Amino acid sequence: MKYLVQVCISAALFCACKSSTSSPPATDSTTLAVSKPADGLTGLYTGDFNGKKIYITINYARNNHLAGYNVLLGLRRNLSGSYKTTKDGIDVILNEPGDHPFDGKFTIHLDAAGEKGSGQWVPLNNSKLAGKSFSVVKIIQTEGKGNGFEADYPLGGDHRDINFKSDGSAILNYYPQIDDSTFAQQMITVRGTWERKGDSLYVNWEKKGDQPTPATLYTITYEGENDTRFLTGVETADSIRYWVGP
């Protein structure tokens, strides 16, 4: 009987030790937040960049990798980089391609929700340019909203961008093309009004001096079908494309 009691006690102690060693380690809020950026980083950010408005779109955020593009003064540049969570937010690095004299690297610290932050931009290959400090705030959340056309969302093209605003106005910024590979240094801004009919956008532009009138008919472009259809941008009859992303 005494031997049986000792066996039972030994078994109970073994089970208790096994249970304590197999329990998962405690986690804190920082560890749990690691998976959140993939759901919350995508979207449109804007801020003041040395007195000029910059738009940064992040349309891919998975496995600590980011991709998107930025638009500044009508010039659209692709971005790729990475992110990681910290105790007080999210650190983001975004690199422009490097094949343009004004390309650089963005280092941004966002709050834990990925809604606002501040950062630095440094040139990649141009020692004559100075770094810039700036702040950004998210103005459009794109997660789960890729199936439809959204007003107030700037669309980027080569040396141009266009914004169809929710108040019915449209703004086109572009650099006139001089020849096959050269564009003017002075950006031109044209304003107008727009209306949507189906997947077509009709724009009535203001007259801008002796500049030719921009395209007045734009087609909303999609890829996929039904539930898998997603917005890719708008396109004019003369094949000028304005992208939602790269």
* DSSP conformation letters of the chain: -HHHHHHHHHHHHHHHHHHHHHSPPP--HHHHGGGSHHHHS-EEEEEEETTEEEEEEEEEEETTEEEEEEEETTEEEEEEEEEEEETTEEEEEEE--S-STT-EEEEEEE-TTSSEEEEEEEESS-TTSPPEEEEEEEEEE-TT-TTS--TT--EEETTEEEEE-TTSEEEEEE--B-SSS-B-SS-EEEEEEEEEETTEEEEEEPP-TTSPPPPSEEEEEEES-GGG-EEEEEEETT--EEES--
Question: Residue 120's Cα: distance from chain center in Å?
Answer: 17
| Chunked mean pLDDT (size 10), the chain, 246 residues | 49 48 37 46 86 84 88 82 93 94 94 92 90 89 59 85 88 89 90 90 89 92 78 88 76
Identity (one letter) of the amino acid at 196?
A: R
C-beta neighbour count of 239 within 10 angstroms: 6
Find, among 67, 237, 242, the residue nearest to 156 by Cα.
242
Overall pTM > 0.85: no
Query: Given this model, what pLDDT does residue 76 score?
Result: 80
C-alpha span between 62 and 1 (Å, rounded): 62
Q: What is the pLDDT of residue 21?
A: 43
